[in-house]
Structure 1
Amino acid sequence: MSQVIVELATKTYKVKIDKQLHKHIGEELSQVWSKRKIALLTDSNVGPLYLSDTETQLRSAGYEVLSLTVPAGESSKSLPAVGELISKMASAGFTRGDGVIALGGGVIGDLGGVVASLYMRGIAFVQIATSLTAQVDSSVGGKTAVNLGDTKNIVGSFYQPDLVLVDATYLDTLSDRDLVEGYGEVVKTSALSGGDFYQLTGTIKGVSDIRDQAQILSERAITYKASVVMADEKESGQRQFLNFGHTLGHAIELLAHGQLRHGEAVAIGMIEISQRFERDGITPSGVTDSLRDRLKAVGLPTTSPLIGTPNFFKHLVNDKKNHGGVLNLVALANIGEPIIVKKNIADMPAFMEN
């Protein structure tokens, strides 16, 4: 087993990475939590696969379990869903000494984190990440949020878990498309990190390579992200680098109304913004092609007709990186050298021209 320790000013927790963790959930949890009630949150895709076994392991370890299942998909990341889950926990008599476990991908992790942060002003929280997106990115770092209408991740908080379990075995039941969209975040992180990690993503030539290398890809991505989070937990400085590709990506993800996965939108966002910065001399020539080669090798999209439409620019206004009409865009001064470039929203139409 490998692990990454996330040490913050007010909290330290472990991210454990191993292909046997799915068999030892009760044991792992007993190392961080005393016996208590647990709201075990999952979705309609993950639940039929893993909920019963997880619940059995938790009960065998002495925990009282309330299983909660929401519909799979981004629509469950909503305030009504948060309210319904909190109401069910209250009816079951949950107290401040109890906890929430998110068993699922990024949507469940976000939703569970928001519920845990709000219930009685905050109860314990654990992530069991079952998608590649969650394993390499969203389960680590404490950013939790839900959507409001057409605005993505606008209601949320920084709320760190007590433990994160990452087991590549869960990926065996993912479709190729759902696996590959998580790889978009891997390429992003490798480009920010550079060095051996970026060289590693250059060796990935297809879906089977992602499955074969899933554990090491998770280790590398989590190690990089943890280092950034420990230096800047609340995203006031270098943690903004992790938004590479996300400003444009979030806008088209919303406009696609479910037709684009998160990692697919981020892949498009990375290419679209990098080629503009390459055009303007901020990103060196060849960087965009290098990124595009890694993404296309596994079938990720690299462009979208939604980029540059009137509604696209409207969504940029509600982006969390909008600071008084100025966007903090992430550019690559080189592979492994991310920088922030400030751009007025009013100037974005001209910037996005080819």
Structure 2
Amino acid sequence: MKAETQHHVDKIKQSLALLRRHLDWDVANDRLAELNALSEDPELWNDPANAQKLMQERQKLDQAITLCKDVEQDLNDNVELIEMGETEGDDEVVAEAEQAIEALTEKAGEMEFQTLLSGEADSFDTYVEIHSGAGGTESQDWASMLLRMYTRWAEQHGHKVEMIEYHAGEEAGIKSATILVKGENAYGWLKTESGVHRLVRISPYDSNARRHTSFASVWVYPVVDDNFEVEINESDLRVDTYRASGAGGQHVNTTDSAIRITHIPTNIVVQCQNDRSQHKNRATAMNMLKARLYEAELQRREEEANAEHASKTEIGWGHQLRSYVLQPYQMVKDLRTGVESGQPDKVLDGDLDQFLTAALAARVHGTTAEVEDID
């Protein structure tokens, strides 16, 4: 078998393994058998709403399982044809089977893409919250570079971006900022970006032109609608008001209209200053708090479902996600997947898809690479 064809075969098998793991293959087949039995029960439709829900679950599960089986069968059939054609010297049979496998690779890729973005909240809009680390102006400038990077990525994918909170640094950059990214699968694509991002460069703020290392944290959480219910006790909240700051326009205020809400039990803090009305800012901040609590619940469920990988999927300030080196050489390296780029300028201009796709695949697989950081 040609090396190129073998590559296609390996890629299809990888996609199949991803789908099987995502479905939890044995559990999915048992559940489908259970749903098939329930669908034959004449009393099922005594409760039409529940019946419809069960039938939708059955159809979705049946389609996924059938697709996986069909792709696997097509792959095996064409591999056998290639082996037979090579044994008998029938180049025409080999060529047709190779073309079929190449077409099957595209189908498997689409299947994998749908699997990567099939989470409960993946289709939602998302908040992206950025905080500078210790280091003053250096880290604040780095945080502003990350803010631009995610804004550019969103714009390149046709998403809309709204500034929710912007806290400027004293000399340059930002202390913190929160943007709202609106678009199809916005949360699904960006959810793996939560963590610590590290920059190494010759500082433009150091007169001695020394190399500096800066850190900033990113937190991504989905926008939830009014139908999402979460119990929040007012006694668990600390609400602070402050004067909005920013680069101008609606982000500059002469009154204390900006809102900061701290959820004391979880120590989650959200901020909003995008409106001149304190009342509207408080309403937006409460929605952000609900979203953060929802995202925490999604994390809890994922850790329970992947208990053996829990230590690998935890995300926080202590978890370094990616390093961006601008001097003395140029390299961006993801420390979870090992994906690298020698063009940091493009990455910082929003070219993130290779990193996002690899991180999503690793998350679905429940695996991470053992990758050393770069200096």
TM-score by length of 2: 0.22
Instruction: Tell which structure's C-alpha radius of gyration is larger.
Output: 2
